[in-house]
Structure 1
């Protein structure tokens, strides 16, 4: 979605603050946090569609979210209901696979619906949209727009969207507290909580979601993991090492999401500048995995997947010392 790493965790913290201001401590805070953390988990499913629609799926969606997308392109996005359907289906299935509960699944499937009934993909009326969806969308708008345009402009726009994008009462509560909450967000590092960590998460699921970025890579991460594990076994590696290598294989394409699809889809050699952008995929894989203790070790291996013995690989361009 063209957002910096940590965006979803910041949104989750803001959604919790908003939820707490409304209802205090209760189960709904866990739901709000999980919806915020998984809100963009379906973004790989429609990356190819956005690439066809906007040319650059990463920059285009960033512009869509920070309100800098031109009017013609924005209208085209609003008419492309199938993109919202694909996103919601995948994010909902992710929550279902993780057994996070119906409230989280429903919230994820309603984050593109709006208070006035003009949202996507179903154009639902307000009474059919759970409050958690509004909480997360408000938190996301505040986080993105305050970074991009400043707090004052962000709050003015959010106020203008009252009873259109979200309920006026909820928007007013956010506006009233926004400066304090943003200050708290900056003063306290956003930690990964146990919100979606109370059970194991299959890295096969992560690999499958990664592969959705490009339709021609369907099943690629699973196949790489199987081949890598078998190669490690034939080399006499321990079971622990084989498991680590298989995990790394499932993760090695993670950074691909940060690179526009049109570059991956270009036939033949890429121009120098374009080639350099694709080489950053391994960097983003390393950067993302390093933030999660359980993924640090396999992520370190995954980030070396495109290095070469002669030093011609990326992103570190390491050469073999043997």
Structure 2
């Protein structure tokens, strides 16, 4: 049954939470769609247990939202153990009440994180990690639960769904954290999803036999016995077709009880919650996404963009860094220079943002724009490396707003710079052909800088040198003549011409000449 749909807006709450679950997969070091698959199995197993629609709804959203607090304290995890994503991936395979197994993983991760260090330094790191782990684990798990509850409330949930998120790491035998809740005092949805997520994890590693083995092994300890018995009895049926399903579509199809459609304002609130979820990844980025959203939407309004484009830009500003959760906090908090491997990981985060949001049309539209926030007109940006002719006015504004905001914020490797210094830096990038001058003027105007009234940029992001070359090309000069006039090599001229053609979207001298004439660039 569907709830009344808001006029002119088509987005279900389940779509937003399903997208957010993909981000939590990244943050937990799990394959994408891990939470979605867990959701499917949770509903199937709950149905086999005879649960009613309300109970199934609790299990459905518990499976999708179990780790929405996962970004809390990640920088501390990375400081103690190295790459927290690898740590989480390994910890997920062991019984978290088995101290020997947990310590074995911790020691292995610390050694890996300290490769190349002296034996003395590695030993010190291991001793520190072991000594601080008990306090850190309790603090981290408590933080995860609290953050999850706060975010879920902001996403529109209440009652038992929110209460259950406070018991994420509790167990049937009372050996869970943070409060050692035991037996029937643990929310049924928590017990079910604890079992289901481990089953999915081991099924992906070793098939149905591995799933059955882990369920039986932890029966009566981590897992509620009756749930295990029902799963083992019906495992073949419950897991049938599990590898072949269109997971996103299936999750939306099986949502229990009444389907909830969001109003535009409710979706904005959800975007703000997701922005804060992403910014928690690093202590250096708190409030970053909100600030980018405010700046870019103001700039877009100053440029006279249609209200619908301004709204989409604001949402893209809020969601642009969702993909950062898939990169280790140790990279985002590193004080020194990034290695080539670390830099390659950083370059992936816009792609992850796009991937997380691509499931539904409304989210995909935002994700496509949000993923362009590090692109540059000359093709030097990432992750696509597209050129100016392929970047819309909205994309240009977003990249500038993100750059300006980041420059005025402290990062682990540098202090924040002043607004005036940030403005100078952006103008340098305009001169270098990386950023759009109109977009820079609009963003600086939105940020309160005193600048000339923004006017339409007619140069397609061409640098001053590229404009010189274009004028000479349009006036009929040969490559050799241009090289002599500018005192550069013919090969350099050719490189400039190819880049100019790419930026302005032409392939011939005549079309380039027409471009220059149309924009009055020859005077």
Give TM class, smaller chain. over 0.9
Partner of residue 258, structure 1: 326
TM-aligned CA deviation for residue 167 of structure 1: 1.4
Greater Cα offset, 67-76 or 86-95: 67-76
Q: What is the 5 A alignment of 1:166-205?
A: 166-190=223-247, 191=249, 192-193=251-252, 197-199=260-262, 200-201=266-267, 202=269, 203-205=271-273
**Mean Cα deviation higher: 205-214 or 41-50:** 41-50
Give the gaps of 5 or more residues in structure 1.
Answer: none
Matched, 1:224 2:272: no
Specify which of 37, 42, 61 is matched with residue 34 of structure 1.
Answer: 61
Cα distance between partner residues in 2 of 1:305 and 1:262? 22
Offset of residue 34 of structure 1: 0.8
Aligned with 2:154 (options 97, 113, 118): 97
CA contact (8 A) 1:255 1:281 kept: yes
Query: Within the alignment, does 1:282 sit opposite 2:350 as a pair?
Result: yes
Structure 1 counterpart of 2:103: 71
What residue is the counterpart of 2:398 in the other structure? none
CA contact (8 A) 1:2 1:258 kept: yes
- SS class of match (1:184): coil
**Displacement of 1:197:** 4.5
1:88/1:109 contact within 8 Å kept? yes
Q: How many residues align?
A: 322
Partner Cα separation in structure 2 for residue 295 and residue 289 of structure 1 = 5
CA contact (8 A) 1:159 1:171 kept: yes
Alignment of 1:234-249 (within 5 A): 234-249=302-317
Query: Structure 1: how far apart are the matches of 2:295 and 2:273?
Result: 18
Contiguous gaps of at least 5 residues in structure 2: 1-27, 96-100, 108-129, 389-502, 505-523
> Is the contact made by 1:54 and 1:73 (CA closer than 8 Å) also made in structure 2?
no
Deviation at 1:256, TM superposition (A): 0.3
| Aligned-partner Cα distance in 1 for 2:160–2:335 | 44
Shift of 1:185: 2.5
Detail structure 1 runs of 4+ shifted over 6 Å in the superposition: none
Deviation at 1:70, TM superposition (A): 5.8
Please give the root-mean-square deviation of Cα atoms over the aligned residues, in Å. 2.0
Taking structure 2 as the reference length, what is the TM-score of the superposition? 0.59
More displaced 10-residue stretch of structure 1: 69-78 or 141-150: 69-78
Distance 1:303-1:240 versus aligned 2 partners, 3 A rule: same
User: For 2:243, what is the secondary structure of its paired residue?
Assistant: helix
- Is contact 2:69–2:146 with CA below 8 Å preserved after alignment? yes
Shift of 1:73: 4.0
Residue 236 of structure 1 deviates from its aligned partner by 1.4
The structural deviation recorded for 1:133 is: 0.6
- Decide which of 302, 305, 318 is 2:373's aligned counterpart: 305
Q: Which residue of 2 aligns with 1:52?
A: 79
User: In the aligned structure 2, how far is the partner of 1:265 from the partner of 1:153?
Assistant: 37
Deviation at 1:115, TM superposition (A): 1.0
Is the contact made by 2:75 and 2:333 (CA closer than 8 Å) also made in structure 1? no
- The structure with the largest alpha-carbon Rg is 2
Aligned-residue offset at 1:283: 0.8
Question: Which of structures 1 and 2 has the larger relative contact order (alpha carbons within 8 angstroms, sep 6+)?
Answer: 1
Counterpart CA distance in 1 for 2:260 and 2:81 is 35
* Partners of 1:276 and 1:258 in 2: CA distance: 13
Q: How does 1:111-190 map to 2 (within 5 A)?
A: 111-190=168-247
Deviation at 1:255, TM superposition (A): 0.5
Cα distance in structure 2, aligned partners of 1:272 and 1:24: 51
String of CA shifts for 1:64-97, please: whole Å, max 9, x gaps: 1133976334595665111100100011112222
1:292–1:3: structure 2 CA closer, same or farther, 3 Å change rule? farther
Distance 1:149 1:71, change over 3 A: farther
The change in CA–CA distance for 1:285 and 1:108 in structure 2 (over 3 A counts) is same
Deviation readout 1:95-140 (Å, 9 max, x if unpaired)? 2223323111122111200111110010112131011111111110
Moved more, 21-30 or 9-18: 21-30
Counterpart of 2:145 in structure 1 is 88
Question: Which deviates the most, 67-76 or 33-42?
Answer: 67-76
